[in-house]
Chains A and B, each alone.
Chain A
Amino acid sequence: MTPAREQDPPVVSPDAAVAWELRLYVAGQTPKSIAAFNNLKRICEEHIAGRYRIEVIDLMVNPKLARDDQILAIPTLVRKLPDPIRRIIGDLSDTERTLVGLQLRPRRG
């Protein structure tokens, strides 16, 4: 049955020549936000160096975007590109899970 498969889309090959557009939503310079940014930067450098762009959106500055982009948890990382959109919440301290969330690694089990 295909519908069950759709829950786990194919892993994006890290070697593919695709541009990554990432958005990190934060609310002010909190330790969690700073940790999330540093973790994200490190993961990107390790896996998709030279092919990514990180946009940090501070909801304290642009609160309207919280509604427009359906943000609930802080920090939230949104993978705008490549399709489909993926969301990862938290400070990204669990590298394994972050990679799974970004579909740079297949989900285990």
Chain B
Amino acid sequence: MSEPDERRRPSSRTLPKAASGIRGLDEITGGGLPRGRPTLVCGSAGCGKTLLAMEFLVRGATELGEPGVFVAFEETAEELTQNVRSLGFDLDDLEAAGQLVVESIHVERSEIEETGEYDLEGLFIRLGLAIDSIGAQRVVLDTIENLFGGLYNAAILRFELRRLFRWLKDRGVTTVVTGERGEGQLTRHGLEEYVSDCVILLDQRVNGQLSTRRLRVVKYRGTVHGTNEYPFLIDETGISVLPVTSMGLDYAASDERIPSGVPRLDDMLGGYGYYRGSSIMVTGTAGTGKSSLAAHLVDAGCGRGERCLYFAFEESARQIVRNMRSIGVDLEPWIDQGLLRIESVRPTLHGLESHLVAVHKLVNEFRPRIVVIDPLSSFRSAGAGSEVQSMLLRLIDFLESAEITGFFTSLTSGGSPLEQSEVAISSLIDTWLMLRQFEVGGERDRGLYVLKSRGMAHSSQIREFRLTNRGLDLLDVYAGHRP
């Protein structure tokens, strides 16, 4: 009795996986989809099933050396080619290169008369031929449930589906089967009954005017998987499931410097300001001038003709423009010229993922060189604990990989100098400025110092500064309150 168990256990522990190549998905599933087995991807109409399935094939073919067969039960090959062109996939090219085959199977009930017994051997033959023609290792069936609409005899169909999934397993192809969401069950015709190894559920929700797509791994036999719902994006580069997989740390570190907008601060940063594409964080208690530093950076950036994107989570665009005008920084012309975009969202309005989705979307759309998130700490109220941290890590990672300079403000409460979220992301921050208030002799002085700044000889002095109507003005070395 115990012997077969002993034999089975190691194999289930080391279930081989096939990387999907879809950003973020392989991270959630611990390496990809079960190799040589079918995975069910289900969701309601328009949730992105077909695109996910197609990206799985395209990435497999182009990046992982695994050609694939796409069996379309819904769309014609032409429609499919057109639909995925928006993701940058050229199916004609892939077919010409022998990396992909689209097999379109159309069944129209009104055109077919059924009399007596039959099987779906024709489907097996076509699929087998398509697989053999390019040595396919991946197969997509999208969506095979359409056969239920085309054929009367559901008993035959169910029997044949069972046979098909067994056959696919025997062929050792990694398969993605899509299914339309049904009422009270995952798919309309209970496909989950046939696909038992891995089930992924997609859905699309509108939350405060912002539509968010989400992905959840419902089931993954023999694998510890994230059970959360992960937001995902579809853009012209394909699907990204957040958290986006870290691309590693090998993106080009720029030597180019960009002025902070405060000349004397540039002096403190080795004389030239921040590095282009680096991440800058400024922390401080309320009213210390964090947003002012952000405004100076944006003002200088727009002055060079660079697009800047400013996420304001606690103030409206109008408030920011007004407040900055009071310290002599006029942002309005930049907005009018289309160089600056201030996106103002209340942090409590959406969940954390929605914010991140919004940030990703806008960055991809607006293509800024500088992104300000003011304040980063507002994310803390939108989500919980470790999830926030990992999401913030990915966000910073995302900006850095796109060579966008990220400027983050973080509000610290009076007592503790550092908040947890700051500690969590501190390793990714290149330049960290701290703003402090000193109360001496009935007067409050503002002080700024560079906690760290990678790759440059920076000042270690605490410098007093003032917010004047001509901008932020750094004074000489702070040496306590002058009598």
Contact = CB atoms under 8 A, between A and B. Distances in A.
B125 A63 contact: yes
A93 B103 contact: no
Q: Which of A67, A73, A91, A93 has the most chain B CB within a 10 Å cutoff?
A: A73
A89 B125 contact: no
Interface string A13-39: 000000000000101000010011001
B111 to A, nearest CB: 6
Contacts of B115: 88-94, 97-98, 101
Interface residues of A, number: 33
B117 A74 contact: no
Contacts of B122: 25, 27, 59, 66, 71-74, 76
A63 B113 contact: no
A91 to B, nearest CB: 4
B interface, size bucket: 20 to 34
B269 to A, nearest CB: 65
Interface in B88-131: 103, 105-107, 110-123, 125-126, 128-130
B151 interface: yes
Contacts of B120: 72-74
A67 B161 CA distance: 19
A74 B118 contact: yes
A66 B114 CA distance: 18
Contact of B111 (A63, A87, A97): A87
A30 B344 CA distance: 69
Nearest to B123: A72
B117 A72 contact: no
A3 B115 CA distance: 26
Contacts of A87: 111-113
Given A74-B118, A76-B122, 18 more contacts: A39-B116, A60-B125, A67-B130, A71-B122, A72-B123, A73-B119, A73-B121, A73-B122, A75-B118, A87-B112, A88-B113, A88-B115, A89-B115, A92-B115, A94-B115, A94-B116, A100-B113, A101-B113
In order of increasing CB-CB distance, the 8 nearest A-B pairs are A101-B113, A93-B116, A90-B116, A91-B116, A74-B121, A71-B122, A94-B115, A97-B115
Interface of B: 103, 105-107, 110-123, 125-126, 128-130, 151
Interface of A: 7, 25, 27, 32, 35-36, 39, 59-60, 63-64, 66-67, 70-76, 86-94, 97-98, 100-101
20 contacts: A25-B122, A27-B122, A32-B117, A32-B118, A35-B117, A66-B122, A67-B129, A67-B130, A72-B107, A72-B123, A73-B121, A74-B118, A74-B121, A87-B112, A88-B114, A89-B112, A90-B114, A91-B116, A92-B116, A94-B115
